[in-house]
Structure 1
Amino acid sequence: MATLPELREKLRRPLELERLRGYENRAVSGGLEKLLAGPIAGPFPQVREALRGYDALGPQERQEALEQALALLEGVPARPPSTPKVARRDAALPPLTAAPGTALAPGTPLSQIDWGHGGLKKLTGLGLQTLRDVLHNYPRRHEDRRALPSLAEIEDGQKATVAGVIVSKNRRSPRPGMQILDAVVQTSSGERVKATWFNQPWVEKNLREGSSLILTGRVKRFGKSAQLGVEHMETLDQAGGGSLSTGRIVGVYDAKEGVSQDFLRRSAQTTLSRLDAGDYLPSHWRKQCELTDLADALWGIHFPADEAHLARADHRLRFDEYLFLELRMLLQGEDAVLLGKRFTATDRDMQTFEAGLPFNFTGAQRRVMHEIADDMRSERQMARLVQGDVGSGKTAVAACALFLAVKDGYQGALMAPTEILARQHFANMQAYLEPHGVRVGLLIGALTPKQKAEMQATIASGLIDVVVGTQALIQENVTWANLGLAVVDEEHRFGVAQRRKLLSGRPDVLVMSATPIPRSLALTAYGDLELSIIDELPPGRTPVDTKLLQDNHRTQAYGFVMTQIREGRQAFVVTALIEENETLELLAATQLADDLRVILPEARIDLLHGKMSAAEKDAVMERFRAGGFDILVSTTVIEVGVDVPNASVMVIENAERFGLSQLHQLRGRVGRGSAKSYCILVAGEHSQKTRKRLKIIEGSTDGFVIAEADLKLRGPGELRGTRQSGIPDLKLGDLVSDVEIIERARDLAKHILSHDPLLKHPRLAALREELQARSQQVAYREVI
């Protein structure tokens, strides 16, 4: 039975983790109140009382309640909360204007500073609440206005920025439905330019004669005179000074109607001049990572003295974005701070397993297996992502890891997202493990109640070594005798809560993915996992030949499909829809299948579509694998990892509607047997841009090269849904080009947490506060 100090420690850790994660009520599955309702909090009724109603509190009230609870837990007299514990998310802070010259903390509410008439409303209208928000409201771009060019030097069609005073203005309507605003602007050198706005009548209220403007647009020359088609306009406040808007490298911010760039620059200047600019990164870490100090970076991003100042500011603030992102990912839930299993995982055991295979491991498989074994030997819980292209041998590596766990007397689990994949993994695990005396079982929803009950009893008694299954593995009535290693296939298909149910016994974790992910995205989307890549295919595997055709050559594609069918092969035909609509999907799939029955009367054709149940889809796939028909027509993505060795052709209709990585995944459904295989991309759009994009997939079979190209073309948000992956919007970071910065930030985050898992050391107080503030900001953005 646990002692009182042990129970205190068990309660303290999740409470401190909740503090670190910004009072989001996510540190413990089900929330803090669920934790406090259990036996762990029994000896501490005062703590339980302090946190009563925590779920319903706003961020400020949660912070006060948690600090009081931690103080009570440590036996320190707690300060009473400053406000009643009720949910007051929208309660306004009283305006407590700070005296000029007072140094303020980053978390100071904007209401404590005088921003001028209407200034506070403008800032809060942009979603800014504290000085920190203003500091990190970075310019979206910078313009060099140190020496604005003479209009005489600007060529026709060039973009230019000019500053001047309105001399005159005019509104005209050359034809119905068109309104043009013209203003003659005189620069400080005496030059005049006609500035023009098309169909923007709301601009006119800012075009007062004598007003100072800064205009950006394209120049159109008419002999010696010039006209500027305005794309961006700034009005300068009369109290003059355009010193923040001209004569320097100037930041241009995202803004709303009625909020001028000049006001935003002056707000940033006010904030920087009032800030108590400490640095949450100690100097030795800054030196080690070649980073400038925080004050220099913040001044440099808003008001750079020169290009070098802007570059070092941008580098430091990008690094910080990734550092706090990695800290958040590494601190996901309780898993980050507890120990895992410890295995012997000897080289001899790995050699014994490999000797029983009908093939030899590739060099990449051996390298990854040794990385896994190093983790398994450590007392810390393994959390590793193994990426590998289709056919690279991830399953054999996972089987070896499971073998090492069973050798030490532990059980292993392998969870797959669908029953057909679970059955496939079950067959593979039997082939790999049973010759070594390992007992392998299957637990899926399709089993009868009696079969399920028998398997659950066998798992609980420890009479089965490795269990392969679907979400049936995480049902409440599954109890493990001694789970040591959990392998999760295509982890992104499961929710976080689902994964944690499997991991509640603290097993080591191995995640497999056949979806190539660019390294930068893997390090962030899967930031809580170490990364291993199997980047080598076994010898003898023939790459799939890929051919891009325009839709007017479709007949040629299906003639080739029929040739393959006559040779005893099978084919996939996949089509895409612009709209995600199951009714339209069914109609499109049915129409395509009917068309193919006319074009290919000899072929046996069947259908897979979104209105089918999971069991119906599995049944169709099983018949296809068994050779029950020749062509499978589908508008849904064919399951990743499904083996149909006899399928040698993949035809993808409307290929331009898929991302490159998705096309590569679809192509991976063929080439899984001994026969030469082919992928035909049929493009319905004939533009040069589309052709250039699809040529990438035609010319490369390397999934990681393709994934990098996809990231550059589509961006991280489209590619993986980064908000769902836990990646907040990056203000400065660029996942396409920031791999080196991400790796250095991740290394520092791991170093920090390896020495201080909960950031408790006093010298890390500022870092901890900044992490909490950023976590709250992310939670706020997700809510709105």
Structure 2
Amino acid sequence: MKLTDKQNRIIETFDYSSPEQFLNHYPYRYDSYEAKSIDEWVEGETVVFEGKLASGFRTVRFKGNQSVTNFQVFSDDTLIKVSIFNRPFLRDYHYKEGIVVIGTVQSDHKVMAKTVTNKPLEETLGLKPSYPLKAGIKNYEVERLIKKILESIRIEETVPAVYKDAYRLQSKQQALQWIHRPQTKEQLMAALRTLKYEEFLRYHLSVALNQSGFSFGIAKPISNDVLKSYLNQLPYDLTKSQNDALSEILNDIRSDQQMHRLLQGDVGSGKTVVAFLSAISAIKAGYQVVFMVPTEILMNQHLAAFKSLFPDITVVGLSQNTEERKICLEGIRTGSVSFVIGTHAVLTEDVIFNNLGYVIIDEQHRFGVRQRQTLIDKGKMVDVLMMSATPIPRTLANSLYFDLSVSTISGYPSHRKLTETFVIKENSLRSIIDDLNHVLNEGEQIYVVCAAIEEGERPNVKNVHDIYKNLSQVFKGRHVGMLHGKMTSFEKDIVMATFNAGNIDILVTTTVIEVGVDVHNANTMVIYNAEQFGLATLHQLRGRVGRGRIQGCCFLLSSSDTDIAEARLNALASSHDGFELSMMDMRMRGIGDALGFRQSGVPNFILGDIEKDEKILYQAKIDAKHISEDKENPEYKAIINSVLSQDYFKTT
């Protein structure tokens, strides 16, 4: 296939690796054009009609490079006055054979045109795709490129024929043709059904093929008396929901089936202490436990929390920066170390366990399937607990997760008060300065969160460096600190240790503090450009304050005047239900924006909507299970090879 330099640049601009991959650049909407007789027109609706030019194009220019071109069209025995903005280049001789106009009806026989063409009316009618664009790239250029790719390649079928026939799915080639160039709504719907099913099937199959079959395990002798003694050490009682989740986990560990369970719960619901208690139970039964976390900040936080609650049990932290790493590794290898809390560093080949029996993975979506499996494979028939702070309804979790039991902690520990949340309709501290000074005078600390690190990183968005400088001037005499993802692990650790010790009054930071940071003296948070974040992220951030016995307070600063931004922020201010907020974000922002890999435990599907398409998602899970259990079946070879090679397109 020979593409022009411009077409190759378009593919690169959108970060696709090949022309075939560019077929994943789906339209985000379709405009429906159908011909109506003029007496059926309604003011404000979009119409398309053809006719003969009844006058020349007359252009009027006004300030800047703006212009409006007026002309008349004789159509269906009626003279129609047409105006179109910024088309001074229109010439009568291009439209000698006729003109087709697409525009909005303004009044009787007057139309404000969006576009005009000299193509036949039949080519203009139907569904017309609109694509996501970038500066300098026009919609028609994307359309032409897609058309050229589709005409140049043959795409190999990967969905097994047995499922394609059973669900009346289209061929992959036909589905792509219809999603990019549909003639009818029926064709578009058929294409979407086909491509969504394939997307969900590939997702479930990739999980199934990349995990060892979870079946027979090792029944561990969990002691209720030991558990009770450690429950009695806690400075508070577990909630009923926490106790129920702990019982489900321990029953799995006791059984001779491998545990493969997700522990989900809202921010601050008390998941970590439940995981700690289950870890102690496994340790006391004679097994090693590893608790993998995504960041060193979270590792150090968990280490401090565990040592505080259970000082009689030895625990080590393992990261790339761990001092005396060799001593830690030797202790893990010989079995003298029973509990390890670590970052990705626990995945390396030199980490060899003596008797690993239980793996806990915090913020599990931050680790790839293969990373998780690498850790699981360091033991034999280990029990696995994955944790997520973005809860989704149990029925949906059942459809989304493959071979996974789900425990849910609802509500909050009795000692925690809900954080008050206020929407400030300007991107400035001006109106809350007195509140912040009062907090500081009380000896408490403050988080200030920005969506960017440096100036120019994101247009019209406050950044950490500038806000750090400004607040150092505004709050003279106070210690202002700075924390962000471009700092080294050592630098971040120093800042967090200083903040923990109470020696930083105001910490200006990015979402690096979103997960796990637990400073009981920091009960106030300010978030600049709050409209830039998903509800899941805002809810996670808000969960960093009010973690002690003082009520938290969160200020959402935003000068955005869009209805959807205002609705989302008001929703956060009025609700603390993570289930409700995550589903609301899906509905209001769309699955792709709301549920990216960074913000939640839910994969970022291109077309599939896990809420609206739950039936397709669940059926794909069942089918993926059948395929994974019958891998030698030649009918399944194409899709298995495609998934294992992570190749979405096979071409012939």
TM-score, length of structure 2 as denominator length:
0.76
Q: Taking structure 1 as reference, are residues 207 and 771 closer, same or farther at Cα in structure 2, changes over 3 Å only?
A: farther
Distance in 2 of aligned mates of 1:615 and 1:770: 41
Q: Give the counterpart of 2:467 among 588, 603, 608.
A: 588
1:177 equivalent in alignment to 2:65: yes
Of residues 661-670 and 608-617 in structure 1, the stretch that sits farther from structure 2 once superposed is: 608-617
1:342 equivalent in alignment to 2:217: yes
Q: Give the counterpart of 1:411 among 275, 288, 296.
A: 288
8 A contact 2:264–2:387 mirrored in 1 = yes
Distance in 1 of aligned mates of 2:644 and 2:321: 45
Q: Taking structure 1 as reference, are residues 337 and 402 closer, same or farther at Cα in structure 2, changes over 3 Å only?
A: same
Distance in 2 of aligned mates of 1:479 and 1:276: 43
Aligned counterpart, 2:134 = none
Distance in 2 of aligned mates of 1:380 and 1:605: 53
8 A contact 2:464–2:509 mirrored in 1 = yes
Q: Give the counterpart of 2:198 among 316, 320, 331.
A: 320
The residue matched to 2:378 in structure 1 has which SS? coil
Q: CA deviation at 1:303?
A: 9.0
One-letter identity of the residue aligned with 1:589:
Y
Aligned counterpart, 1:733 = 608
Q: CA deviation at 1:543?
A: 0.7
8 A contact 2:57–2:92 mirrored in 1 = no
Aligned counterpart, 1:280 = 160
One-letter identity of the residue aligned with 2:80:
V
Q: Taking structure 1 as reference, are residues 561 and 380 closer, same or farther at Cα in structure 2, changes over 3 Å only?
A: same
Distance in 2 of aligned mates of 1:481 and 1:395: 25
Deviations 1:544-572 (A, max 9, x none): 122233459956634334444555x5121
1:479 equivalent in alignment to 2:352: yes
8 A contact 1:185–1:192 mirrored in 2 = yes
8 A contact 2:454–2:465 mirrored in 1 = no
8 A contact 1:422–1:468 mirrored in 2 = yes
Q: Taking structure 1 as reference, are residues 751 and 363 closer, same or farther at Cα in structure 2, changes over 3 Å only?
A: farther
Distance in 1 of aligned mates of 2:648 and 2:159: 19
One-letter identity of the residue aligned with 1:483:
L
1:372-391 matches, within 5 Å, as 372=249, 383-391=260-268
One-letter identity of the residue aligned with 1:177:
N
8 A contact 1:277–1:294 mirrored in 2 = no
The residue matched to 1:235 in structure 2 has which SS? coil
Aligned counterpart, 2:168 = 292
Distance in 2 of aligned mates of 1:658 and 1:354: 42
Distance in 2 of aligned mates of 1:501 and 1:414: 14
Q: Taking structure 1 as reference, are residues 130 and 380 closer, same or farther at Cα in structure 2, changes over 3 Å only?
A: farther
Distance in 2 of aligned mates of 1:205 and 1:742: 54
Q: Give the counterpart of 1:637 among 504, 511, 514.
A: 511
The residue matched to 1:282 in structure 2 has which SS? helix
Q: CA deviation at 1:226?
A: 1.9
Q: Give the counterpart of 2:113 among 208, 229, 247.
A: 229
Q: Taking structure 1 as reference, are residues 586 and 762 closer, same or farther at Cα in structure 2, changes over 3 Å only?
A: closer
Q: CA deviation at 1:590?
A: 2.7
Distance in 2 of aligned mates of 1:473 and 1:276: 40
Q: CA deviation at 1:617?
A: 3.3
The residue matched to 2:647 in structure 1 has which SS? helix
Q: CA deviation at 1:595?
A: 0.6
1:421 equivalent in alignment to 2:298: yes
Deviations 1:489-511 (A, max 9, x none): 23455577765653442544433
Of residues 744-753 and 292-301 in structure 1, the stretch that sits farther from structure 2 once superposed is: 292-301
Q: CA deviation at 1:699?
A: 0.9
Q: Taking structure 1 as reference, are residues 245 and 765 closer, same or farther at Cα in structure 2, changes over 3 Å only?
A: farther
Aligned counterpart, 2:329 = 456
1:466 equivalent in alignment to 2:339: yes
Aligned counterpart, 2:424 = 549
Of residues 523-532 and 409-418 in structure 1, the stretch that sits farther from structure 2 once superposed is: 523-532
Q: CA deviation at 1:302?
A: 8.1
Distance in 2 of aligned mates of 1:772 and 1:447: 35
Distance in 2 of aligned mates of 1:486 and 1:751: 27
Distance in 2 of aligned mates of 1:745 and 1:145: 35
One-letter identity of the residue aligned with 1:217:
G
Aligned residues: 626
Q: CA deviation at 1:641?
A: 1.4
8 A contact 2:464–2:482 mirrored in 1 = no
1:776 equivalent in alignment to 2:652: no
Q: What is the RMSD computed on CA atoms of the aligned residues?
A: 5.1
Higher Cα Rg: structure 1 or 2? 1
TM-score, length of structure 1 as denominator length:
0.65
Q: CA deviation at 1:413?
A: 0.8
Higher relative contact order (CA 8 A, sep 6+): 2
Q: CA deviation at 1:308?
A: 6.6
Q: CA deviation at 1:217?
A: 2.1
1:217 equivalent in alignment to 2:89: no
The residue matched to 2:102 in structure 1 has which SS? strand
One-letter identity of the residue aligned with 1:398:
A
Aligned counterpart, 2:460 = none
One-letter identity of the residue aligned with 1:572:
I
8 A contact 1:278–1:295 mirrored in 2 = no
8 A contact 2:160–2:636 mirrored in 1 = yes
Deviations 1:78-137 (A, max 9, x none): xxxxxxxxxxxxxx6xxxxxxxxxxxxxxxxxx9xxxxxx9x999999989999999999
The residue matched to 2:550 in structure 1 has which SS? coil
Distance in 1 of aligned mates of 2:228 and 2:90: 73
1:134-149 matches, within 5 Å, as 141=29, 148-149=35-36
The residue matched to 1:406 in structure 2 has which SS? helix
1:151 equivalent in alignment to 2:38: yes
Unaligned runs of 5+ in 2: 132-136, 458-462
Aligned counterpart, 2:584 = 709
One-letter identity of the residue aligned with 2:338:
D
1:495-574 matches, within 5 Å, as 499=372, 502-506=375-379, 507-515=382-390, 532-550=407-425, 554=429, 557-567=432-442, 569-574=443-448
Aligned counterpart, 2:575 = 700
Distance in 2 of aligned mates of 1:634 and 1:492: 26
Q: Give the counterpart of 2:361 among 488, 510, 527.
A: 488
8 A contact 1:383–1:528 mirrored in 2 = yes
1:743-754 matches, within 5 Å, as 743-753=618-628
Q: CA deviation at 1:459?
A: 1.1
1:181-220 matches, within 5 Å, as 184-187=72-75, 189-200=76-87, 207-211=94-98, 213=100, 215-220=101-106
Distance in 1 of aligned mates of 2:86 and 2:396: 42
Q: Taking structure 1 as reference, are residues 271 and 729 closer, same or farther at Cα in structure 2, changes over 3 Å only?
A: farther
8 A contact 1:166–1:207 mirrored in 2 = no
8 A contact 1:327–1:749 mirrored in 2 = yes
Q: Taking structure 1 as reference, are residues 594 and 529 closer, same or farther at Cα in structure 2, changes over 3 Å only?
A: farther
Of residues 547-556 and 422-431 in structure 1, the stretch that sits farther from structure 2 once superposed is: 547-556
1:395 equivalent in alignment to 2:272: yes
8 A contact 1:193–1:228 mirrored in 2 = no
Distance in 2 of aligned mates of 1:383 and 1:719: 26
8 A contact 1:183–1:194 mirrored in 2 = yes
1:15-54 matches, within 5 Å, as none
Q: CA deviation at 1:314?
A: 3.7
One-letter identity of the residue aligned with 1:591:
N
The residue matched to 2:329 in structure 1 has which SS? helix
Distance in 2 of aligned mates of 1:612 and 1:134: 35
8 A contact 2:451–2:510 mirrored in 1 = no
Distance in 2 of aligned mates of 1:672 and 1:573: 13
1:353 equivalent in alignment to 2:227: yes
